[in-house]
Amino acid sequence: MSRWTAALIGLLGVAAALAAGHLVAGLVGPTASPFLAVGNTAIDFTPTPLKDFAVRTFGTYDKLVLLVGMAVVIAAVAVVAGLLSRTSPLPGTILATALGALGVAAVLYRPDLGQLAVLAPVAAGVVGVLVFRWLHRAASAPSAPGEGRRTFLIAAGASVLAGLGGQFIGTRTDVEGSRSAVGELKPTTPAPAIPAGADFVADGTPSFITPNRDFYRVDTALSVPRVLAEDWTLRVHGLVDRELTLSYDDLRRRDLVERTITMTCVSNEVGGPYVSTANFVGVPLRDVLLEAGIKQGADQLFSTSVDGWTAGSPVDVVLERDRGALIALGMNGEPLPVEHGFPARLVVPGLYGYLSATKWVVDLELTTFADKRGYWLERGWGQKGPVKVMSRIDTPQGFATVRGRAVVSGVAWAQPTGVGKVEVRTDGGPWRDAELATAVNGSTWRMWRAELDLPAGGHTVECRATDLKGFTQPAERVAPIPDGATGWHSIFFTIE
């Protein structure tokens, strides 16, 4: 058997295994697909520094990078197994079995998958072994001329069909249909209109409201959970006087409030992009918790998403009357986009998302920090995540060349207090006040601009914000882990 044939047998055997797993997963739970289950489990087991590196480096594409990386590794292993199997099919058989076993382990580890889901990786293992041995036999001892080639084509074609079939069945849940059926979520209390002077878009800041398609996205979900509004419920339990189970209709029939809120990710580096602002529509979280009645001693609101991700928020913070924490159903005039948590998510102004902003939320448990630890707390991030005062230069971009008078502009945030001042300085000189855009509320970012009168040549510009309580963003550069970056953003640019 030639090396090419041997390598191809390895590849086709593994492709058949993954395709069979994907097909069965379409029936028993899409994330049970061995490829996705192993990927999701890999995400959960990835050491925190590597995960932070991935979020930092690849941003929203981190999952695509992981999927492609996994495909490359699996293909390489498949080729090696094929090459080792030139005389005996044993190495390939072992590989297919190992793939199935890895898939079973990954599926059992996933909190969102039932026992039935192991059928998907089991199918992958069995089909992988059978197809591999069948191809091997056809190539090493063909009973008719051309049998090898014919067998290969059948295996490749059937794998493609099975993979596509699994994808089709698995995504047949009509989550977009459910989203459109929700219709308009009309707030009884709309947010005040955004004043005209709230941003400096003409000078290069982002728009005050971030369009949904541009809103940053950070989560551990390799495939976005697809939950129908009509199937969704939220359970409130634990240290409460009465347990509640709320349906989507229960929530949307209440008086909905709309709040303009800036969300921030703790992984955001100084100058980074993980901050966005939206009008969220929902039910005050405080009201729901008070209805359930919180028992003495509960200091943690432990929220769980449908895919098993968890966050622990301080109870005293989510209960603050002025905090404005929401069980959000809508975002910028539409039901939440699926990637941002449809049917429902939490939004707590002034807390980083990792311990408060659970998307696809299905469970709220009142408990204690001593009893339970959320996903990122378990992985080395802080227990309390108040958003730190921060400012960012958006224009000019680093290393840009500017003609004539330079205008520097950007955003600053200090939720829930609000930004009182932004200062800029050039080339290490004295600080001077930037012009602030109209404030919207303390839980949103604030745009700023300053005109610079500088000679031609290279310059460094820095900014720093002060909140309305007088606290100024510190100079000290601190990395995001464990509770958020600090330091002044600084940009080098050239005036022509």
Ligand X SMILES: Nc1nc2c(c(=O)[nH]1)N[C@H]1C(S)=C(S)[C@@H](COP(=O)(O)O)O[C@H]1N2
Q: Specify whether the CB–CB gap between 208 and 337 falls below 8 A.
A: no
Verify binding: residue 218, Mo ion, rule CB under 5 A. yes
Q: Which is nearer to ligand X, 23 or 351 (CB)?
A: 351
Find the binder of ligand X among 10, 13, 92, 353 (CB under 6 A). Answer: 353
Burial group, residue 335, by CB count within 10 angstroms (0-12, 13-18, 19+)? buried
Verify binding: residue 360, ligand X, rule CB under 6 A. yes
Structure token pair of residue 38: 């192993």
Q: Specify whether the CB–CB gap between 444 and 262 falls below 8 A.
A: yes
String of contacts with ligand X for each residue 470-489, x by CB under 6 A: --------------------
Name every residue whose Cβ is closer than 8 Å to that of residue 370 and which is 6 or more positions away in sequence: none
Verify binding: residue 309, ligand X, rule CB under 6 A. yes
- The b/e string for 98-133 (b: 16+ C-beta within 10 A; e otherwise) is ebbebbbebbeebebbeeebbbbbbbbbbbbbbbbb
| Residue recorded with tokens 């999701």 | 40
Q: Which residue in the shown chain puts its C-beta closest to Mo ion?
A: 265
Least Å from the CB of residue 185 to ligand X:
17
Q: Which is nearer to ligand X, 38 or 357 (CB)?
A: 357
Verify binding: residue 323, ligand X, rule CB under 6 A. no
Q: Compute CA 328 distance to the chain's CA centroid, rounded to the nearest angstrom.
A: 17
Verify binding: residue 358, ligand X, rule CB under 6 A. yes
Find the binder of Mo ion among 82, 89, 225, 353 (CB under 5 A). Answer: 353
Verify binding: residue 215, ligand X, rule CB under 6 A. yes
Give how many residues touch Mo ion by CB under 5 A: 4
Name the CA dihedral angle for 182, 183, 189, 192, rounded to a multiple of 10 degrees: 120
- The b/e string for 395-413 (b: 16+ C-beta within 10 A; e otherwise) is bbeeeeebeeebebbbbbb
Q: Provide the CB-side half-sphere exposure for 406 (13 A, CA).
A: 28
Q: What number of other Cβ atoms are within 10 A of residue 238's Cβ?
A: 21
Least Å from the CB of residue 259 to ligand X:
15
Q: Which is nearer to Mo ion, 265 or 366 (CB)?
A: 265
Verify binding: residue 265, ligand X, rule CB under 6 A. yes
Binding range to ligand X, per CB under 6 A, among 23-31, 135-143, 211-219, 366-374:
211-219
String of contacts with Mo ion for each residue 236-265, x by CB under 5 A: -----------------------------x
Q: Provide the CB-side half-sphere exposure for 98 (13 A, CA).
A: 10
Q: Which is nearer to ligand X, 92 or 416 (CB)?
A: 416
Least Å from the CB of residue 340 to ligand X:
4
Q: Which is nearer to ligand X, 51 or 323 (CB)?
A: 51
Strands 326-331 and 275-284, sheet pairing:
antiparallel
359 binds, among Mo ion, ligand X, none (CB under 5 to 8 A by kind): ligand X
Verify binding: residue 484, Mo ion, rule CB under 5 A. no
360 binds, among Mo ion, ligand X, none (CB under 5 to 8 A by kind): ligand X
**Could you give the CA distance from residue 159 to residue 275 in angstroms, rounded to a whole number?**
42
Verify binding: residue 220, ligand X, rule CB under 6 A. yes
Q: Which is nearer to ligand X, 219 or 394 (CB)?
A: 219
340 binds, among Mo ion, ligand X, none (CB under 5 to 8 A by kind): ligand X
Q: Using alpha carbons, list the distances in angstroms from residue 40 to 349, 353, 380.
A: 29, 20, 19
Q: Which residue in the shown chain puts its C-beta closest to ligand X?
A: 353
Residue 396: asked if its preceding bond is cis (omega within 30°), the reply is yes
- What is the distance in angstroms between the CA of the first residue and the CA of the last residue of the chain? 66
Least Å from the CB of residue 46 to Mo ion:
15
Q: Which is nearer to Mo ion, 83 or 479 (CB)?
A: 479
Which chain residues interact with ligand X by CB under 6 A? 215-221, 263, 265, 305, 309, 340, 353-354, 357-360
